[in-house]
């Protein structure tokens, strides 16, 4: 085994570890600023189209994985050209709410978990490892549930291309660039989950019954209005983001303290 390989166990000194944590915090700040700035760029939705598809894959994967975990069965997973998605599954009636809630909240949770991968000390380039995992995950979801080659060519093609793009980023990006890419995708998932819930809240509060969505499905299942579910998911996603950022900043601050002590 080559001891210098980027995916081998890390043996960095406390000073190097402190530098890495400081860099991780910088990556997070830049990724957040870039994400927010892109909201105000005209036609940025065209520039970010691959990201939109990626986030939709994560959203629908949340539904699919939840279905399996509660003892259900996934029939298919579809991602459409307009960036929307749909998962067909059969789940125990009493637990159907778990599957429905796992789309938006699963995306926010994915962003929170991915963010923390960027500070794992076990590997020299945790961002590169995260990108490999994302690529394999997209390919796996596509292979397992996007299996209608004649009726749903787009899902299979999008999954194959997105997985290949993530794999290429992991393989060819320098370690620091891979770490930034991971932070950027994590922030995109977290903030876009909130943005999608904001749109969902608008649709449900304005009584848009023609636009079928998760909140309306929950409303039909529980009798509670769709606005209630959209607001609940928004508050939960915000709480997840707040806690994740708090833990992240605390962990990276503690990791940088040895570096500060050495400098003194």
pLDDT at 9 over 90: no
Q: What is the 3-state secondary structure (H, E, C) of 176-217?
A: HHHHHHHHHHHHHHHHHHHHHHHHHHHHHHCCCCCCCCHHHH
| Nearest C-alpha neighbor of 59 from the set 97, 8, 104 | 104
pLDDT tens-digit series, residues 190-222: 877 666 666 666 666 665 545 567 888 888 888
Say if residues 7 and 159 touch (Cβ distance below 8 Å).
no
* pLDDT tens-digit series, residues 130-184: 999 999 999 999 999 987 666 678 999 999 999 999 999 999 999 888 888 888 8
Distance CA 79, CA 185 (A): 19
Q: Up-side HSE of residue 115: CA atoms within 13 Å toward CB?
A: 31
């Amino acid at each position: 085994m080559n001891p210098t390989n980027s995916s081998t166990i890390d043996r960095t000194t406390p000073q190097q570890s402190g530098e890495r944590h400081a860099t991780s915090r910088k990556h997070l700040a830049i990724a957040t600023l870039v994400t927010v700035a892109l909201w105000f760029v005209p036609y940025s939705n065209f520039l970010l189209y691959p990201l939109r598809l990626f986030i939709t894959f994560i959203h629908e994967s949340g539904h699919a994985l939840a279905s399996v975990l509660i003892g259900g069965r996934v029939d298919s997973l579809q991602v459409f050209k307009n960036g929307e998605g749909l998962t067909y599954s059969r789940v125990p009636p009493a637990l159907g709410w778990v599957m429905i809630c796992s789309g938006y909240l699963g995306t926010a949770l994915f962003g929170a978990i991915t963010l923390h991968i960027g500070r794992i000390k076990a590997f020299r380039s945790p961002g590169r490892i995260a990108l490999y995992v994302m690529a394999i995950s997209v390919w796996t979801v596509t292979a397992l549930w996007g299996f209608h080659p004649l009726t749903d060519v787009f899902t299979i093609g999008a999954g194959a291309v997105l997985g290949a793009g993530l794999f290429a980023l992991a393989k060819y990006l320098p370690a620091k660039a891979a770490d930034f890419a991971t932070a950027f995708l994590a922030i995109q998932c977290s903030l876009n989950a909130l943005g999608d819930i904001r749109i969902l809240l608008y649709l449900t509060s304005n009584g848009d019954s023609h636009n079928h969505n998760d909140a309306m499905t929950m409303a039909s299942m529980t009798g509670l209005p769709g606005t209630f579910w959209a607001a609940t998911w928004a508050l939960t996603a915000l709480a997840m983001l707040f806690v994740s950022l708090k833990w992240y900043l605390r962990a990276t601050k503690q990791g940088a303290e040895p570096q500060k002590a050495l400098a003194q």
